[in-house]
Amino acid sequence: MDSFHYPPIDATALRAGCCLTSIGALTYGPRQAYPKAGHPRDFDFRWERGRKLSDFALVMIVSGRGEWEAAKGDLQPVEAGDALFLVPGGWHRYKPASEHGWGEKWICVQGSAVHGFVSAGLLPGRCLIMEGVLRRDRVARLDHLRRDVAAKPGASLPSWGVRALAVMLECFETQRPIAPPEENFASTKATALGFIRENAHRPIGVRDVAVHCGLVRRTLERHFQRAASMSVGRAIILERIARAEMLLTETSMQVKEVAYACGFGGPQRMIYDFRRLRGITPGRVRRPKSG
């Protein structure tokens, strides 16, 4: 059920070091205007100008998809299971995809204790996307907190901020690296290619490479493209083609046998990939040897 709340914050709550400033859940259908009305002026925003908050915020995307952008960053896709972490003064903007819509749930906190976690490196110091960090129990705890806040309008209990902060910390603790230093792109490429070379004969896919590299699939794809100027899927196929060319020119194995030995899963797939990426058929590769 859609609802959002902005608990009052007084001096006592601020002195405690961590207070809940907002919590809510809203669902947007396809082509529905975003955001909905009714938010305080400092929380509302328009895509054209973006927004800067005074609070720390965690925006969970629980369904659908969209896009988002932070200062000095590129426009990035956002999918269900991702979370956006926002910091005070950090410019950002996000919205659901017009054709899909999305469901979002959020919490906002403020206080010296939260800044302390940032200083200690236990929370990010900048706006970023945390991919695939949502867990059913975390969403359930956020829903429980939202019900407790709704049951006490006008109140601001000390435990609310602590409960919200705990969800933020857990998401950050389990996130995958999103934007490593430039020199780490080469390391990701080397790790991925090593795994591909060792396992190309098996029915591996991009997801398998991502798991080996310790990255979610979309993050691996971005890093690999940056370092290798090609997709991970293309790298897998090229490795299989290279192996097939070797077997076709150096052995008497049949095309069907080569296809299975190199991980294509069958001759038709091998023929298709050869034509698409090499412009010839596997049979043409073998022909020079018999000439």
Q: Rounded distance, CA 3 to CA 146, Å?
A: 8
More confident residue, 84 or 187: 84
Q: Which helix or strand (DSSP H or E) is residue 6 part of?
A: none
pLDDT digits (tens, 9 = 90+) for 219-238: 888 889 888 999 999 999 99
10 Å CB burial of residue 49 (0-12, 13-18, 19+) is: exposed
DSSP for 109-123, please give it. Answer: EESHHHHHHHHTTSS
pLDDT digits (tens, 9 = 90+) for 144-170: 999 999 999 999 998 999 999 999 999
Residue ranges of the domains in the chain? 3-174, 182-290
As given in the structure block, the two tokens for residue 203 are 């029915």
What per-residue confidence (pLDDT) applies to 236? Answer: 96
Percent above pLDDT 70 for the chain = 95
E-state strands within the chain: 3-5, 19-28, 56-70, 76-79, 83-86, 92-96, 102-110, 128-130
What CATH fold (topology level) applies to the domain 3-174? Jelly Rolls (2.60.120)
pTM across the whole model = 0.64
* Contact status, residue 9 vs residue 40, Cβ threshold 8 Å: no
Alpha-helical runs (H) found in 175-266: 182-199, 206-213, 217-228, 232-250, 255-261
Q: Rounded distance, CA 146 to CA 7, Å?
A: 11
| pLDDT at residue 176 tops 60 | no
Give the least confident one: 9-18, 43-52, 272-281.
Answer: 9-18
| pLDDT at residue 40 tops 50 | yes
* Contact status, residue 248 vs residue 107, Cβ threshold 8 Å: no
pLDDT digits (tens, 9 = 90+) for 94-110: 999 999 999 999 999 99
What per-residue confidence (pLDDT) applies to 181? Answer: 47
Report the mean per-residue pLDDT for the chain: 89
As given in the structure block, the two tokens for residue 43 are 């929380």
- Residue indicated by tokens 């890093």: 223
Say whether domain 182-290 belongs to CATH 1.10.10.60. yes
Q: Rounded distance, CA 166 to CA 111, Å?
A: 14
